[in-house]
Amino acid sequence: MLKKILAGVIVFTFAVVAVEAQQGGRQGGAPAGRGGNPQFPTPEKYAASAQAQQHVANAMTIAGSELQAEARAFCTPTGPRRVALARQAQGLPPLEDRPLEPIKMFENLYYIGFSDVGMWAVPTSDGIILFDALNSGAEGRDMIAGGLKKLGLDPDQIKYLIVGHGHNDHTGGGAYLQTTYKPRVIMGGPDWDSHIKGARADRPAMARDVVATDGQKVTVGDTTVTIILTPGHTPGTIGLLVPVKHQGRTHTVMILSGTQMPTRQSLATFEHVFNDFAKKQNAEAALGAHPDILMNKLTAMEQMTKAYPAGAHPLLMGPQKFARYLDIMIECGRARLAALES
């Protein structure tokens, strides 16, 4: 059975990576596969590396019967990618990138944006924390500020803008938000550098403000979030641990802005973050700005626009199961590195 699963992972991977090699990065991403991105092994190297395939087998064992789909998604040469690339690899027509109504993901966490990319808003007793800023000043004004108003929140109460990484689909509305609402802005140091260097007339840069540090606490009113450094997708990629509320109880979710582990150092950093922050805070879910890459699947998100969950929350795995989810991510990261180094 395990051999059949591994064979399926490899076949699917060849198709997706071939498409990415042709298409290249989207909205600040990087090409992968043949002759493309040194972050990722080719499908051939991945399949041929005995050490890589042993790590894949380890991940499948950790997955058991409950997390097989997650293990198959993570244990590819690239890791989980956007749905658009997978659809193209299967010869399916592209999906329209469409605006979504603001989504109440938890009682104090909202997704604002599009079917392909969004940002997060955390209202507190004394202001709002934002994570990411979409593609442009117009989206900062219409989608983010406008979305907050639709939720009954006041954009003038934005206290912090935390930016996951320096690609434009995460920073584009930042200059508008910073100029208009005067929040403190936090981003990883290397990505501050690249963001400011890459400014142009139609993409104004934010003014450099706070450089993120590992384990940094940001408190607004009754809510404290924890910043985690997760370099890999970019040198300054960061994530966030957020205490969310559901049916009167507090749970911890992790928002990741990238899951690439292209070097031994970045892999070690993710291991540290998962073991020393996520597991110790009993995290129960991993969310991302791009739906369908991590646990926030678009179909489930759109269901929440119709009705917030009345019973168990579909995104909360529980700490023990989620710890296995994190261990799978690490094993699959080890598999990619083993193939790269073979």
DSSP 81-145: --HHHHHHHTTPPPPP--B---EEEETTEEEEEBSS-EEEEEEETTEEEEE---SSHHHIIIIII
pLDDT per residue as tens digits for the range 96-121: 889 999 999 999 999 999 999 999 99
Of 177, 221, 238, 170, nearest to 198 by C-alpha is: 170
- Domain ranges within the chain, ordered by starting residue: 2-89, 103-311
Rounded Cα distance between 43 and 137, Å, is: 39
Q: Which CATH class, in words, describes the domain spanning 103-311?
A: alpha beta
**Residue 37 has what pLDDT?**
60
Of residues 270, 271, 261, the one with CA closest to residue 337 = 261
The partner residues of 75 in beta bridges, in order of sequence, read: none
Paired with 220 in beta bridges are: 223
Residue 89: pLDDT band by 50, 70, 90 thresholds?
A: low
Indicate the average pLDDT of the chain. Answer: 90
Please choose, from the candidates 184, 206, 180, 211, the residue with its C-alpha nearest in 3D space to the C-alpha of residue 130. 184
Residues near 220 by beta carbon (within 8 Å), at least 6 away in sequence: 124, 126, 127, 128, 129, 159, 160
d(CA 209, CA 222): 24
Backbone angles phi, psi at 62, to 5 degrees: -60, -40
Q: What is the pLDDT of residue 83?
A: 74
Overall average pLDDT of the 305-329 stretch: 97
